[in-house]
Amino acid sequence: MAAVDLAQQDERGRRPSGRRMKATQAFIESLLAEGVEVIFGYPGGAVLPIYDALYDAKIRHVLVRHEQGAAHMADGYARATGKPGVVLATSGPGATNLVTGLATAWMDSIPLVAFTGNVARSAIGTDAFQEADITGITLPITKHNFLVRRAEDLPRVIKEAFHIATTGRPGPVLVDLPKDVTTEEINFSYPETVDLPGYRPTIKGHVKQILEAARAIAAAKRPVLYIGGGVIASGAHKEVLALAEKASLPTTFTLMGIGGFPGDHPLSLGMLGMHGTVYANYAVNECDLLIAVGARFDDRVTGDLRRFAPHAKVIHIDIDPAEIGKNVQADIPIVGDAKAVLSVLVEKVREKREQEWLDTIEAWKREYPLTYEEKPGVIAPQRVIQEIYEVTRGEAICTADVGQHQMWLAQYYIFREPRRHISSGGLGSMGFGFPAAIGAALGRPDLQVWSITGDGGFQMTAQELATVRKYNLPVKIAIINNGYLGMVRQWQELLYQRRYSHSDLHDNPDFVKLAEAYGIPGFRCTRPEELRPLLEKAAAMDGPVLLDIHVDQEANVFPMIPAGQSVAEMIGKKGRLGT
């Protein structure tokens, strides 16, 4: 959607009467009406009126140390709870510091509402101090955005912002607030409904298409169910499980779909794609029916589109019609909410079991399990993930940054429920994981939260150690420290003849001392026998803890399908694996 200049819109009928109050108080009342409990933000001149109102507000404000951290915290909060995250920043650099976080939420379809301050209306367009056209800047990376020019429009705009962010395909919405708008008085009345004629997401799928999908499943001899983040966004994990079990569908998931299907279920194939399991990729390569639900056929999944699932008829279920046919042509397209569509499909599909296909997959699982090398006296990074899984009994929320540790978490931690795995998928934002863990911890204080991060990504938002300490959040930070930008180094090893150009991080700081400087306990782990006791110690401690875990510097993530290639070029532990 395009940015909206509300000064150009006609009033919609008579203005409702209500309590007379400052726009800043109306801002607070509107957020309370939306059920907002937490705001992540950083003050500045253009939002001082709002911060003055927050002083007495019954909304928890979390003071971050960088606006990028605020956006990632709001994102992590949203992913962990299913509620929209809310972030507040000042004008100019404060607003532009949100861009990476907004793009991250946009790519992964995360509901987030960002409020930014701006210069006074009379100064807009004059290059005033700390002015930035944030609505223009964020137009490609928000689902919608608003520039509020009339204070009386504020309640309606907030209502519409939350509605747009949380319905249909979720996503970030930005509301830009000129400073003088927030200082005016209005008659406050919060709207009960929204009226957006051009925005009508399709929820229910077409019944004839659903029946056609049921017939295709019945006829298939080698079906595969392929789920993405849309399953989690719609809360469709129970329907996915019911469909898979009723029709005995081997089920694979994207990075964003992890947790949408129990990872330890007999029908689970694990993650597919570039660093997916061999058997998931083989199954997709050989299937005759691919049932895609809430997934967008990302390039990290498909590789060479010309050779992706070459024998398969494709059913594609997605709430966003723009995704259907965008990358892979669908034989049976179904536009609608995953939960709504699957609830009908489960009723219509008949029970079946293609034993020969299931036996073939079981054989692949035995022949090509996930494996890794453990060198004497050196900690294997994959072992770290497995030990964290054991220590947490698979019940923690785990956030990841981007790179090798992100893939090892996806491979070796078995997630059985949705909203426990939090990772920047589409944008791949370094610096995401640690602040996202803070947001998750605030949203789900009933669960243990682990930030699995790398020595590179952690340093991009390490200043949020002050935030996690200020609020004494029990986030356990596990730095998988290999002294490199690990995934960059891996690609340079395999594809660039070991020319390690600027990927060496051996001048890293002492992370333990860094943690201690912020008043956080820190421990260094360098030997395999130290690993389990330190993980158990960290898990048992109150408050935040940092573990600097030194791992095998040359460990690689396998399997691996090089970018733009196919299953035929898959690289595994033993070299190239063909079909």
Among residues 9, 129, 204, 362, the one annotated as catalytic is: 129
442 contacts 63 by C-beta, under 8 angstroms: no
Whether 25 is catalytic is no
202: left (phi over 0), alpha (psi -120 to 50) or beta: beta
Has 162 been annotated as catalytic? no
Cβ count within 10 A of residue 219: 12
Residue 491: phi and psi, rounded to 5, are -65, -40
CA-based max dimension of the chain: 77
DSSP string, 335-389: ES-HHHHHHHHHHHSPP---HHHHHHHHHHHHHS-------TTS--HHHHHHHHH
Q: Are 70 and 87 in contact (CB under 8 A)?
A: yes
Q: Which of 22, 143, 179, 365 is catalytic?
A: 179
**Pairing assessment for the beta strands 144-147 and 4-5 based on DSSP bridges:** parallel
Residue of 29, 34, 67, 387 with catalytic role = 67
Question: Is 497 a residue of the active site?
Answer: no
Beta-carbon neighbour count of residue 64 at 10 Å? 27
How crowded is the C-beta side of 41, counted as CA atoms within 13 Å?
24
Helix (H) or strand (E) holding 187: strand 185-188
CB atoms within 10 A of CB 343: 18
Q: Which of 37, 130, 352, 386 is catalytic?
A: 130
Exposed / middle / buried, residue 456 (Cβ in 10 Å: 0-12, 13-18, 19+): buried
| Angstrom distances, CA of residue 451 to CA of 353, 414, 553 | 40, 16, 20
Instruction: Tell me if residue 129 is catalytic.
Output: yes
- Catalytic residue selected from 487, 492, 511, 558: 487
Whether 406 sits among the annotated catalytic residues: the reply is: no
The answer to whether 280 touches 217, Cβ cutoff 8 Å, is: no
H/E element holding 440? helix 433-443
Asked if 206 contacts 334 with a C-beta cutoff of 8 angstroms, the reply is yes
Residues annotated as catalytic are: 67, 129-130, 179, 487
